[in-house]
A = this chain, B = another copy of it.
Amino acid sequence: MTIKKVCENYRISPDTLRYYERIGAIPPVNRTENGIRDYTEQDIGWVENALCMRNAGVPVEMIAEYVKLCRQGDETFSARRDLLKEARSQILKQIEKYQTELERLEYKISRYEAAVETGKLVWDEPDCQSNATEL
């Protein structure tokens, strides 16, 4: 499968794909005789893996590390597990952060909904931090 096709399937640019390969976030891709990349199912599996991890906010460097471990064989199972656990804990922290922020945001939005109605913006607590935005 050509790079073009893969890019279309996953809505990414060829540059990104080549970039991932260059830095090791995916292993070297199969080539035709004249050096053109020809992605096998397995190559595509690696691409998906990289995209998944990126989606999860995992830094490319960490993905490269994971790929490297994978290619080192069965001795690295526990290292890979640890790496993934590390990634998980980071995502969890991030989700938590976002959820806290989401609540604040909901509150603010509700105040603004009211303000649009009444023409007056008011907060429940007099000088609540994020509410100090009203002057």
Contact = CB atoms under 8 A, between A and B. Distances in A.
Interface stretch (A15-23, A28-36, A52-60): A52-60
Interface of A: 9-11, 41-42, 44-46, 48-49, 51-53, 55-57, 66-67, 70-71, 74, 77-78, 80-81, 84-85, 87-88, 91-92, 94-95, 97-102, 104-106, 108-109, 112-113, 115-116, 119-121, 127-135
Contact of A109 (B67, B88, B104, B116): B88
Interface SS of A by simple majority: helix
B98 A57 contact: yes
Contact of A130 (B45, B108, B115): B45
B102 A84 contact: no
Contact of A129 (B42, B56, B94, B106): B42
A127 B55 contact: no
A122 to B, nearest CB: 12
Contacts of A67: 133
